[in-house]
Each structure stands twice: as structure tokens, then as C-alpha cells.
Amino acid sequence: MEETSPLVSPLQDSTDCSFCHSEASSPRGGFRANATPGSVVRVSAGSPGNDRERQPLLDRSRGTSQYHRNEFPDDPEFREIVRRAEKAIEEEIFPERIYQGSSGSYFVKDSQGKIIGVFKPKNEEPYGQLNPKWTKWLQKLCCPCCFGRDCLVLNQGYLSEVGASLVDQKLGLNVVPKTKVVYLASETFNYNAIDRVKSRGKRLALEKVPKVGQCFHRIGLPPKVGSFQLFVEGYKDADYWLRRFEADPLPPKTNRQLQLKFERLVVLDYIIRNTDRGNDNWLIKYDYPMDTGGIFVSKQQQHMIGMVKDPIIKIAAIDNGLAFPLKHPDSWRAYPFYWAWLPQAKVPFSQEIRDLVLPKLSDPNFIRDLEEDLYELFKRDPGFDRGQFHKQLSVMRGQILNLCQALKEAKMPFQLVQMPPVIVETARAPQRANESYTQSFQSRKPFFTWW
Ligand SMILES: Nc1ncnc2c1ncn2[C@@H]1O[C@H](COP(=O)(O)OP(=O)(O)OP(=O)(O)O)[C@@H](O)[C@H]1O
Ligand SMILES: [Mg+2]
């Protein structure tokens, strides 16, 4: 890894560190697994970050005015879906605001008016400049001290959404509908008056004096950067189904399916330290067999009414915009995982989930790769701050450390959330060109060793 790599902490060398390992050896800067014991650097966990998170991060001129093409060379399927959305907007089938949300979130449609995605523009996030909800504006005005979650980087929710999808895909959890950074412009988005006037002026110029109009780089409204998540059909809020299952318990085989999917949600949420996982922020799809009372129902009819031979349960972890904190939430604003109170959280982690994620999470090269992918993602934001990103990674590494221990010991999710929060920082001694890991605990508890 380069000396200037953002994945190396700005921490200085110390006489004391938990262990050091050799210089990068993998093509992507991964490190050799044969770590050698070194010295320990103690850092205070949960130390408040600097005040940058309270500053507006969005430099509008950088954030929105450039023309961006939505190219996804590695994912033609996703590119095709975004193309369909763009075509629909050209045909004036505009994204529609989701009214119940606390921010500007939009259902994006295709030319037939079918919902194909959920778009959340950066500058309409709960604390974004153009959030269309006046309640958030009022909160900012009247109660600035309580504004925002001080453990999160403000106004980077769209990256958190995409980061959650990245973690999900790398671990093969498949619970987050695919989410990527996309640029879209639409009449229905919240723009300020200047942007609207400029756009109208340019359009008028193009109509009246086409030669002048053709000089404009872009005619319409400026595209907004945001997260675009694929829309999943046939799902309902987890709350709804969990209540139904309480009253009418699932058959054991289906219940087991739910349990295995639930564990994947737990792994995702714990790693990204989601601070907003209520049971309304994950969805369940349940295709169940119906009693036809002996009446013949054709395959096509069965499909149309969602009837299946073997019941199938799927879950979708949506609304991941409030994750990747730069410090662990403190005790008075703990942002608990609401799933921890469900009966599913009182079942030890299964062999299936352990087999799926432990080999990856125990591999330092995998972790390094994940960190680099997250870096490539987060650095795209105009407000990106290397120090903050480093803190976000320190929390994530601590979460992974706890999770690995819980999985190895076949603990229950309920026990996992009770483990003392850890942060794990990296630092490289300048003269030794080595990296070292440092662990510290929120409350002073036993000292664990790295994997
Ligand atoms: N990918 C998706 N597929 C299907 N439905 C979705 C998807 N994403 C969101 N929804 C639906 O839209 C609703 C609002 O979405 P979401 O919670 O992500 O928005 P939000 O603006 O962040 O809201 P809030 O902050 O109030 O939770 C969800 O409750 C869900 O019903
Ligand atoms: Mg929500």
C-alpha cells in the first residue's frame, strides 16, 4: 500500500501496539497474514470526532453541476434499469416522491409507469440543503444542538446506502436490493428557484435562438447525485409479517428459512453499525401455499395470486442511509438494533451463516479489499474527509472483530449486541514501513487479540 494511502491511519508510531504486520503484498494492497507481535497504541474509543460533521458538506458547484453519465461497465443489467429510468423521465414519466419518508426519496418508474427503483438524492437527505420536509428544517432552526446524529457523517446517506449494498454483495448475504450511485434530474425533485429559473431560461433561449441555445452544456435541470436502489416487488414491512407470524406461526421449515435470512440481516447491520434498523426498515416477502378447497388452479393462476407449492420467505434490508458511523453511539443515544428484541435474536447463529461469512471475515486480505472498495466509494463525495473515513473504518473493524467472536462461539444475535463496542485502528510506523492494529473498548473490558 502506498505511503499516502487513506487506509493508513494518520496515527503516529508508538512504543506500544497490539501487533504489526508486514508491508502490503497483494495486488490490491492486501497484507500478509503472518502478523508479528508488536506494540500497543491505546486510543479512547468513542472519542468525539471533529466538528466537520456539523458543517455543510455539499459544495453544490461540485456536487451537481457537472454532467454525469450513468455507466456501469461491470453491471450491464443495472445499467439497463437506469437507462429505462432515464428514458421514462425523458418521456415525462417522472419519479414520484415517497411521502411517508423523512427525506426526499422517490419511486423511479419505467416508461410503462412500473416502479423500478428508489432514488434518494444527496441534497434532499434528512439534513441536506434541499430536504423537502419542513419538520427537519424547523428542527435545524430551533434545536441545532440536537440536529443530526453526531456519530454519523452528515449528508452522506446515499453513500451509506451504496456501502451497505457493497458489504452485502461482498459477503454474499443477498439481503440488500442492489444499490449504486446514480445521477438523475427530474421536474419532481426539489430544486431551488435559481436552478429552475436557469433551466427555464436556457430552454427559452434554445427555442427562440437555437444557435445560442446549442452553446449550453446542458439544457434541463441539473442532475442530482444520489443512491438508486432496485425496487423489490411483493414485499411488506417486516413489522406486518412478524405480527402475522406471531398470531399464526410458520411451519417449521419456513420458519427456519426466515431464521437464516434474519441472521444475514444481523450480520449486515452489525458490520455497518446501522443506526436506523427499526422493523419498518426491512421488508419480508412471503409466498405461501393457499388452500383451494379442492378446486383446480392452473399454474398461471397460481403465479398470479402469489400461490406457491413450497412457501418461500425472502427479506430485503432497505433504508441503509444511517450507517457507517465514525464512532460508536453513546449510551444516551444508543440507536439500538430493533431486531435484537425479536424471538429470532434468541437463537444461536447457525452453522450456515458461520460457513458463509467466517472464512471471509477471518481473511485479512478480504477485509483490506473491502476497505479499499469502500474508500473508492466514499471518496466520491465532495465532502470526503480522510480522517473521518478512517474513523468509520475503525468502527467497522471493531464490529467485525466482535462478530467473528460471536460467530465462532455460536452466540445469539441478542448476545452479540451486548458485547462491548470496540474500535480497531491501523497505524504505520514511518520508519518501519509497517502497519499496526490498535484495539480499544468503549468500556474497559477484556482485551481481545486480532484474528
Ligand atoms: N428497494 C425497495 N423496494 C421496495 N420498496 C421499497 C424499497 N425502498 C423503499 N421502499 C418502500 O418505500 C418506503 C420508504 O422507503 P425508505 O424507508 O427507504 O425511505 P425514507 O425516505 O428513508 O424513509 P424514512 O427515513 O422515514 O424511513 C418503505 O417503507 C418501503 O415501503
Ligand atoms: Mg424508512
Measured in angstroms, how far is the CA atom of residue 410 from the centroid of ligand 1?
32
Residue of higher predicted confidence among 196 and 449: 196
The identity of residue 162, as a single letter, is V
Separation CA 437–CA 394 (nearest Å): 10
- Residues paired with 429 in a beta bridge: 434
Q: How confident is the model at residue 334 (pLDDT cuts 50, 70, 90)?
A: confident
Measured in angstroms, how far is the CA atom of residue 320 from the centroid of ligand 2?
9
The pLDDT, as a whole number, for residue 6 is 57
Measured in angstroms, how far is the CA atom of residue 291 from the centroid of ligand 1?
32
Measured in angstroms, how far is the CA atom of residue 285 from the centroid of ligand 2?
17
Mean pLDDT score across all residues of the chain: 80
DSSP characters for 183-239?
Answer: EE--TTS---HHHHHHHHHHHHHHHH-HHHHTT-S--SSPPEEEEEEE--TT-EEHH
Ligand (nearest to CA of 322): 1
User: Which of the listed residues 105, 109, 165, 320 should we mutate to test ligand 1's pocket, taking the one with most ligand atoms within 8 A of CB?
Assistant: 105
Ligand (nearest to CA of 230): 1
Separation CA 163–CA 115 (nearest Å): 23
Buried b (16+ CB within 10 A) or exposed e, 150-162: bbbbbbbbbbbbb
Residue 54: C-alpha distances to residues 49, 154, 378 (Å): 11, 7, 18
The pLDDT, as a whole number, for residue 193 is 81
Residue of higher predicted confidence among 359 and 100: 359
Decide: 428 and 435 in contact? Cβ < 8 Å: yes
The pLDDT, as a whole number, for residue 109 is 98
All residues at 6 or more sequence positions from 326 whose CB lies less than 8 Å from its CB, including other chains: 49, 53, 151, 152, 153, 388, 391, 392, 395
The pLDDT, as a whole number, for residue 414 is 96
Spacing of C-alpha 14 from chain mean position: 34
**pLDDT at residue 106 greater than cutoff 60:** yes
Atom of ligand 1 at shortest range from CA of 232: 3
Measured in angstroms, how far is the CA atom of residue 124 from the centroid of ligand 2?
15
Separation CA 122–CA 275 (nearest Å): 18
Query: Where on the phi/psi map is residue 244: left (φ > 0), alpha (ψ -120 to 50), or beta?
Result: alpha
Q: How far apart are the first and last CA of the chain?
A: 21
Separation CA 374–CA 28 (nearest Å): 13
3-state secondary structure (DSSP) of residue 180 = strand
Segment 375-394 shows an average pLDDT of 96
Q: What is the pLDDT of residues 159-195, one digit of tens each?
A: 999 999 999 999 999 999 999 999 999 999 999 888 7
Place of cell 416502479: 115
Ligand (nearest to CA of 128): 1
User: Who lines ligand 1 at CB under 6 A?
Assistant: 98, 101-103, 105, 118, 177, 229, 231-232, 235, 280-281, 318-319
What residue owns the CA closest to ligand 1's atom 23? 101
Ligand (nearest to CA of 105): 1
Atom of ligand 1 at shortest range from CA of 105: 21
Residue of higher predicted confidence among 305 and 110: 110
Decide: 175 and 168 in contact? Cβ < 8 Å: yes
Residue of higher predicted confidence among 208 and 339: 339
The pLDDT, as a whole number, for residue 80 is 97
